[in-house]
Chain A
Amino acid sequence: MSLDDLFREVILDHYKNPHHFGELPDPTVSIHLKNPSCGDSIDLQLKTEGDRVVDAAFRGQGCSISMASASMLTDAVRGKTIEEAERLLVAVQEMLRGAGVDPRLGDLTALEGVSHFPVRVKCALLAWEGLDKSLRKLHPPAGK
Chain B
Amino acid sequence: MDTQAVRRDFPILRQLVHGKPLVYLDSAATSQKPEPVLRALDEYYRTYNANVHRGVHVLSELATERYEAARARVARFIHAPGPESILFVRNTTEAINLVAYAWGRAHLRPGDEVVLNPMEHHSNLIPWQLTARATGAHLRFLDLTPTGEIDWNSVDRVLGPRTRLLAVTQVSNVLGTINPVAELVAAAHRVGALALVDGAQSVPHMPVDVTALDCDFLAFSGHKMLASMGIGVLYGKPDILAEMDPFFGGGEMIDEVTLESATWKEIPWKFEAGTPNVAGAISLAAACNYLDQLGMAQVQEHGSSLAHYALAQMQQIPGVEVYGPPADRPRGALVAFNVRGIHPHDLSTILDQEGIAIRAGHHCAQPIHQWLHIPASARASFYIYNTPAEVDYLIAALQRAKEYFAHVLG
Between-chain CB contacts (< 8 Å), 14 pairs:
A3-B349, A9-B408, A12-B408, A16-B409, A37-B361, A38-B345, A40-B345, A62-B375, A63-B345, A63-B346, A64-B346, A117-B349, A120-B345, A120-B349
Beta-carbon contacts under 8 Å, A40-85 to B? 40-41, 61-65
A39 at the interface (CB under 8 A from B): yes
Q: Which of A6, A16, A63 contacts B343 (CB 8 A)?
A: A63
B194 to chain A, nearest CB (A): 31
Given contacts A16-B409, A62-B343, A63-B343, contact A39 B361 (CB under 8 A): yes
Give complex CA distance A64, B361 in Å.
14
Give complex CA distance A117, B375 in Å.
22
B369 at the interface (CB under 8 A from A): yes
Interface size, chain B (Cβ < 8 Å) = 18
B376 at the interface (CB under 8 A from A): yes
B358 to chain A, nearest CB (A): 13
Give complex CA distance A52, B180 in Å.
61
Chain A interface: which size bin? Answer: 20 to 34
A124 to chain B, nearest CB (A): 11
Q: Which residues of A contact B360 (CB under 8 A)?
A: 38
A95 at the interface (CB under 8 A from B): no
- Known A-B contacts: A40-B375, A41-B375. Give 19 more (CB < 8 A): A4-B408, A7-B408, A9-B408, A12-B410, A37-B361, A38-B361, A38-B376, A39-B366, A39-B369, A61-B375, A62-B343, A62-B345, A63-B344, A63-B346, A64-B346, A65-B346, A119-B349, A120-B345, A123-B345
Q: Which residues of B come within 8 Å of A, CB atoms?
A: 343-346, 349-350, 353, 360-362, 366, 369, 375-376, 404, 408-410
Give complex CA distance A63, B343 in Å.
5
Q: Which residues of B contact A39 (CB under 8 A)?
A: 361-362, 366, 369, 375-376
Give complex CA distance A38, B375 in Å.
9
Give complex CA distance A64, B375 in Å.
14
A15 to chain B, nearest CB (A): 8
Give complex CA distance A37, B348 in Å.
14
- The closest CB in chain A to the CB of B345 belongs to A63
Q: Which residues of B contact A16 (CB under 8 A)?
A: 409-410
The 3 lowest CB-CB distance pairs between A and B, nearest first, are: A63-B343, A63-B345, A38-B361
A63 to chain B, nearest CB (A): 4
Give complex CA distance A38, B363 in Å.
8
Most chain A Cβ neighbours within 10 Å, of B346, B350, B375 = B346
Give complex CA distance A144, B143 in Å.
50
Q: Which residues of A contact B353 (CB under 8 A)?
A: 2-3
B291 to chain A, nearest CB (A): 30
Q: Which residues of B contact A62 (CB under 8 A)?
A: 343, 345, 375
Q: Which residues of B contact A120 (CB under 8 A)?
A: 345, 349
Given contacts A16-B409, A64-B343, contact A3 B375 (CB under 8 A): no
Q: Which residues of A contact B369 (CB under 8 A)?
A: 39
Q: Report whether A3 and B404 are in contact in the complex, using a CB–CB cutoff of 8 Å.
A: yes
Q: Which residues of B contact A123 (CB under 8 A)?
A: 345
Q: Which residues of B contact A37 (CB under 8 A)?
A: 361
One digit per residue, 1 when the CB lies within 8 angstroms of any chain B CB and 0 when it does not, for chain A 5-19 equals: 011010010011000
Q: Which residues of A contact B350 (CB under 8 A)?
A: 3
Q: Which residues of A contact B343 (CB under 8 A)?
A: 62-64
Give complex CA distance A123, B349 in Å.
12
